[in-house]
Structure 1
Amino acid sequence: MSDAFSSSSENVIQRVVDVTVKTGTPVGELEELYQIRKTCDFINEHQFEKVALQFPDELLADSVAVAAEIERNSNAKPFILGDTSYGSCCVDEVAAEHVGANCIVHYGSACLSPSKRLPLMYVFERRALDLEKCTAAFRDLHPDTQSHVVILYDVNYVHAINDLQTLLLPDYPNVIISELVVEGEHCYSHGRTKGQHDDTSLSERDDGQVVYQFGRRFSLKGGLSIADYRMFYVGQEGATLRNFMMTWNCCSFCSFDPIKMTARTESVSINRALMKRYYAIERAKDANVVGILVGTLGVADYLSIIQQLKETIRGAGKKSYVFAMGKLNVPKLANFLEIDIFVLIACPENSLLDSSEFYKPVVTPFEMEVACNKKREWSEEYVTDFRHLLPGGQSHVPLADRQEDDDETDMSLITGALRSQNLLSSEPEVSSFGSSVVLRNQALTVANTNSAASFLSERSWRGLEEKLGETPVVKAVEGRRGIAIAYEEEGTSP
């Protein structure tokens, strides 16, 4: 047997494993790819002293070199933010505040969700786009030169969109190019700043001709609605495209992948996807205990939607618990078997989580409102931006009056059983057999709250018990030395 695999050898612990690391970008190309000069101008103009540089995992190889260039050409001290608490497309303001940063520079792909705590600058990747092949693909997919088409794109291809527009507009007069608009005060992107003085509504303006969503803005022709347009997307298949297709589900979509150099008409059935989401809504209606997952700490108004969800869930006679656990995975959520369904509060691109691998479904705030608010009906409208659900938003629907729904019953489309909608909304009553408070529904029967506490009481193992005052106090003693498989005092096996 080799000594490297011996149970008593320390070589196993000290052995070095070769790992392939992505090669960093040459110093001469950093300026073009990361817009270092513009970044330093932004820092020096506002006299920032501490700057947080947020990199996604795929760009961390260049982070040290970029930070060194920024420190050399500005008066600020840069801090590198690597492992973000949630999705890398969102601005990690919490991590930036931990180091006392005055502003954030966000690199790579971005969902453009508004952030209002710190000044912000976006620096997108300048990914290559073959304009000739992209133009040819557009012409093949839209043979009618009078077609009304809106061109959407991943933020990393914005540098090439003006050239694409120059090639298409002479032959396609009805093509609309969307522009990126960063919302918030002291935000900078692509040489365009946007402050509160020119802020617009999240929905269409008063004339009904300007659409502004997800950091994109485009103007429609007079007399036409969004349903009269086709969408052409430049970028890879992923969360951004899926978000657009679900939101504007009345439009047909085509896409061009600059990496694979392929174009196609998106054949994924939106109706089928919406029906899957509707199934999740039915599961939410059947649920008694709801877990509210905090999937962002940077998107504006996330605390407001948490409070609104708690009130909505309470009004539907359900229990709710709030969880903040960072990036989600199956083992994390599997620890809470008492939760019947989870609702994820995140940016629009990360809200549409595929929960097929999870033990319990994960729905969006919009879907939970459809399940709990009687006044909100399931229709063609699908909302991925939770800010639209808040008071003043374009899709806000006030909660139904409890008195209006006291006598209403509902049948589950999954189990076929009748659902009671007001188990927890009734006032608590005092039992005639004692002073304990119980909840009663309209039928004067004790309501089954199915809370997490009752679930825990039924478990055979409830975790470590504190046993306060029962454990004797002893002095600290010296522990064992070595590794668990072979402590020093145990000796070696023959």
Structure 2
Amino acid sequence: MGYEFDVEGVIEKIKKFHAEVVGVQFPEGLKIHATRIARQIEDETGATVIISADPCYGACDAADTDMKDVVDLLVHFGHTALPIKYDIPVIFVETRSDMDVQGALSSAMKLLEGYKRIGLVTTAQHLYLLQDMKNFLEENGKEVVMHGGRGTQNGQILGCNFSSIKDLEADAFLYVGSGNFHTLGIKLFTDKPVVIADPYINEARDIDEFADRIMRIRFARIAKAMDAGSFGIIVSSKKGQSRMELAKVLKNMIHKEKKEAYILIMDDVSPELLTPFMDIDAFVMTACPRIAIDDANMYKKPLLTPQELEIVLGKRDWEDYMMDEIEH
């Protein structure tokens, strides 16, 4: 598996910007390409390149690095831009995966039997293949529906933004990509059948078994938090994840129930950073929505989403469970 980078296009933009110091930023899986690309940029532009070694999880934390005061321009590889104002000029470079999706798509057809109208979604690295995917489905008798959302392109879904699938009239959804988190969100927001065509393992599967297992885990966390007398509300300092106003609303909500609430602000969230706050019974995540779901087992105390807190406090019914989203 490899990735395609439009480095030449980036170099042309850097030259037009007349940048003398250029920062480059990569998500974790792409950092292995950083030195090669930095060397090429320096050779062809004469600019000094500074590589961000900080963790990078998406466009939500682009430019949220120590480099913002020392570079003229930042080049962010791997994600599409979000509609937020960055502190420094940022060039977003969509990175294409050269993974063949045909085998996984073919496998998905059996799981989509009986469904005519298919909602098609994928992630940034496969967007360039979206029309080919659509054509394949239509050639196999399916009607394909898709649209863009807040800060997303047509057919694109993010781990924190499911707006592209809401109100989409489909009999079932097909997600082309890896992992289960995105499809869990689709399932919970639509209550429709969801199939994953995973090109990284060249197979297709439905989400039902995984969704059931995750929901059992989530409800166990919620049940445990019912006895909490104090809550730590985590706010991210990352520009694209920061929801301080939401945190204040949640704090007031908790106080009205005669419980204690404290707002904690941090950059990267980890169990180690929460260790000193042993007197807090449960935590609420207003930063990246994936942390509470994907990393749940890393935390000894319940780590809730804002919607799960509402269930704990009796403001939302169990049957009205919903995934958290960040609206940019």
**Do Structure 1 and Structure 2 share a fold, with TM-score over 0.5?**
yes
State the distance in 2 between where 1:330 and 1:301 align. Answer: 19
Within the alignment, does 1:60 sit opposite 2:31 as a pair? Answer: yes
Aligned runs of 1:171-250 on 2, under 5 Å? Answer: 171-177=140-146, 182=151, 214=160, 218=164, 225-226=167-168, 228-248=170-190, 250=191
Residue in 2 aligned with 1:363?
A: 304
Higher helix share: 2
Residue in 2 aligned with 1:157?
A: 126
Residue in 2 aligned with 1:127?
A: 97
Match of 1:169 among 134, 138, 157: 138
Give secondary structure in 1 for the equivalent of 2:74: strand
The verdict on how the C-alpha distance between 1:275 and 1:152 changes in structure 2, with shifts beyond 3 A counting, is same
Within the alignment, does 1:342 sit opposite 2:277 as a pair? Answer: no
Within the alignment, does 1:385 sit opposite 2:309 as a pair? Answer: no
The structural deviation recorded for 1:47 is 5.3
The structural deviation recorded for 1:96 is 5.1
Aligned runs of 1:309-348 on 2, under 5 Å? Answer: 309-348=250-289
Query: Please, which runs of 5 or more residues in structure 2 have no aligned partner?
Result: none
For residues 338-371 of structure 1, give each alpha carbon's deviation from its aligned partner in whole angstroms, at most 9, with x where no partner exists: 1100112222333424423422111112222333
Give secondary structure in 2 for the equivalent of 1:286: coil
State the distance in 2 between where 1:212 and 1:178 align. Answer: 10
Give secondary structure in 2 for the equivalent of 1:169: helix
The structural deviation recorded for 1:134 is 3.3
What amino acid is aligned across from residue 81 of structure 1 in structure 2?
Answer: S
Asked which structure has the greater CA Rg, the reply is 1
Aligned runs of 1:346-425 on 2, under 5 Å? Answer: 346-372=287-313, 374=315, 376-387=316-327
The verdict on how the C-alpha distance between 1:181 and 1:304 changes in structure 2, with shifts beyond 3 A counting, is closer
For residues 158-214 of structure 1, give each alpha carbon's deviation from its aligned partner in whole angstroms, at most 9, with x where no partner exists: 22222222232244352124558746xxxxx9xx9xxxxxxxxxxxxxxxxx99975
Aligned runs of 1:439-450 on 2, under 5 Å? Answer: none
For residues 100-153 of structure 1, give each alpha carbon's deviation from its aligned partner in whole angstroms, at most 9, with x where no partner exists: 445433223x59665422444333432233243234223222234x61111122
Residue pair 1:236, 1:257 contacting (<8 A) in 2 also: yes
What amino acid is aligned across from residue 102 of structure 2 in structure 1?
Answer: E
Residue pair 1:343, 1:362 contacting (<8 A) in 2 also: yes
Could you say which structure has the greater relative contact order, defined with CA pairs below 8 angstroms and 6 or more residues apart?
2
State the distance in 2 between where 1:164 and 1:258 align. Answer: 12
The structural deviation recorded for 1:282 is 3.7
The structural deviation recorded for 1:63 is 0.9
Give secondary structure in 2 for the equivalent of 1:268: helix
Within the alignment, does 1:40 sit opposite 2:11 as a pair? Answer: yes
For residues 211-232 of structure 1, give each alpha carbon's deviation from its aligned partner in whole angstroms, at most 9, with x where no partner exists: 9975666589xxxx54753111
The structural deviation recorded for 1:270 is 3.2
Give secondary structure in 2 for the equivalent of 1:342: strand
The verdict on how the C-alpha distance between 1:237 and 1:111 changes in structure 2, with shifts beyond 3 A counting, is farther
- Which of 275-284 and 41-50 deviates more? 41-50
Within the alignment, does 1:99 sit opposite 2:69 as a pair? Answer: yes
What amino acid is aligned across from residue 112 of structure 2 in structure 1?
Answer: H
The verdict on how the C-alpha distance between 1:344 and 1:237 changes in structure 2, with shifts beyond 3 A counting, is same
Residue in 1 aligned with 2:42?
A: 71
Give secondary structure in 1 for the equivalent of 2:99: coil
For residues 253-311 of structure 1, give each alpha carbon's deviation from its aligned partner in whole angstroms, at most 9, with x where no partner exists: 11122121111222325355335423433433421111122345121552222222222
TM-score (norm 1): 0.56
State the distance in 2 between where 1:113 and 1:122 align. Answer: 10
Residue pair 1:296, 1:345 contacting (<8 A) in 2 also: no
What amino acid is aligned across from residue 140 of structure 1 in structure 2?
Answer: K
Residue pair 2:42, 2:48 contacting (<8 A) in 1 also: yes
Give secondary structure in 1 for the equivalent of 2:61: coil
Residue in 2 aligned with 1:204?
A: none
Match of 2:198 among 257, 263, 283: 257
The verdict on how the C-alpha distance between 1:64 and 1:318 changes in structure 2, with shifts beyond 3 A counting, is same
Residue pair 2:162, 2:325 contacting (<8 A) in 1 also: no
State the distance in 2 between where 1:387 and 1:158 align. Answer: 21
State the distance in 1 between where 2:42 and 2:276 align. Answer: 44
Q: Percent identity?
A: 21
Residue in 1 aligned with 2:235?
A: 294
Q: RMSD value over aligned CA atoms?
A: 3.7
The verdict on how the C-alpha distance between 1:125 and 1:232 changes in structure 2, with shifts beyond 3 A counting, is same
State the distance in 2 between where 1:325 and 1:55 align. Answer: 21
Count residues with an aligned counterpart. 326
The structural deviation recorded for 1:34 is 1.6
State the distance in 1 between where 2:47 and 2:269 align. Answer: 34
The verdict on how the C-alpha distance between 1:91 and 1:103 changes in structure 2, with shifts beyond 3 A counting, is farther
The structural deviation recorded for 1:382 is 0.5
State the distance in 2 between where 1:255 and 1:211 align. Answer: 14
State the distance in 1 between where 2:257 and 2:72 align. Answer: 43
What amino acid is aligned across from residue 385 of structure 1 in structure 2?
Answer: E
State the distance in 2 between where 1:47 and 1:318 align. Answer: 55
Query: Please, which runs of 5 or more residues in structure 1 have no aligned partner?
Result: 1-24, 184-188, 193-209, 389-494
